[in-house]
Amino acid sequence: MAVNTNRHFGKGSSEPSFANDGQLRLFSMRFCPFAHRIHLVLNAKNIPYHVAYINLSDKPEWYSKLNPNGKVPALQLVNEPGEPFLAESMVIAEYLDEKYPEVKLFPDDPLEKAQTKLWVERFGSIAGAFYKLVYEKNADDVNEQLLKTFYAELGQYETELARRGTRYFAGAKPGIFDYAVWPWFERFGILGSLIGDKYSLDDKFPKLAQWLHLTREDLAVQKHLLSTYTHTQFSLGRRDGTPHYDLLVEES
């Protein structure tokens, strides 16, 4: 099977043969928000890379052998001795920022950099609430408490963006703060189809809504963008225990 397609490698697949061209190899899953971060960072830095998508419910044997950690995202550095793998999205992102500094995404200032990391870390609670809202939803009942937490935390980001007074969290251009949280914002629309009117960003958070529209047009984001419809399709399948990894692959 070829790399750089939207098809996912599953159990029984044979190991992909990458072109021997020195390009980085990203092991990803098309619908994983953490892996999404690395696509955005690579895109923003104009770093060419190969990608192999992994079926996480039915992992290929060759992948566990190649990368015992077995997780995605994983970035294989084919130009380093031993062709090592890096894991953890923010570790990979910072590595790429130091190794390919032409387009800088992390702040240079130590304090700004630390604060950016803390904002990204903190976003985990929004991501967690969102995940539960989508995957632990009862048929007729929205968890109001969870929705409250979700909105309360989003409010902190609205306030922070207003305080910064910039178009993006990172300033005049998107930076790692924007790219690290974007994958979840791209998916928040899923809530619309699940809980309907109760989900809205525009009324409650005008700054975030503006940021959302701007960031969606960013080229790095555009290159990996999926529609709310597609994200919803994947989420519904996953919630029912049948994640459709190859949703994007046209049957011919």
Catalytic residues: 32
The three-point CA angle 227-231-233 to 5° equals 115
Helix (H, G, I), strand (E, B) or coil at 52: strand
Interactions with a second copy, residue window 39-78 (CB under 8 A): 77
Please state the closest distance from residue 115 (CB atom) to a second copy, in A: 7
What one-letter code names the amino acid at 11?
Answer: K
Query: DSSP class of residue 81?
Result: T
Interactions with a second copy, residue window 119-178 (CB under 8 A): 121
Q: Which is nearer to a second copy, 58 or 112 (CB)?
A: 112
* Cα torsion angle, 186, 188, 193, 196, sign: negative
**Residue 207 binds a second copy, judged by CB under 8 A:** no
- Residues in the interface with a second copy (CB under 8 A) total 20
Please state the closest distance from residue 74 (CB atom) to a second copy, in A: 11
What one-letter code names the amino acid at 8?
Answer: H
Who's near 64: CB < 8 A, 6+ residues apart?
Answer: 70
Interactions with a second copy, residue window 71-130 (CB under 8 A): 77, 80, 84, 86-88, 91-92, 94-95, 98-99, 110-111, 113-115, 117-118, 121
Write out the two tokens for 106: 């992390």
The full length of the chain comes to 252
CA end-to-end distance (rounded Å), the chain: 16
Q: Which is nearer to a second copy, 15 or 88 (CB)?
A: 88
Footprint on this chain of a second copy (rule: CB under 8 A):
77, 80, 84, 86-88, 91-92, 94-95, 98-99, 110-111, 113-115, 117-118, 121
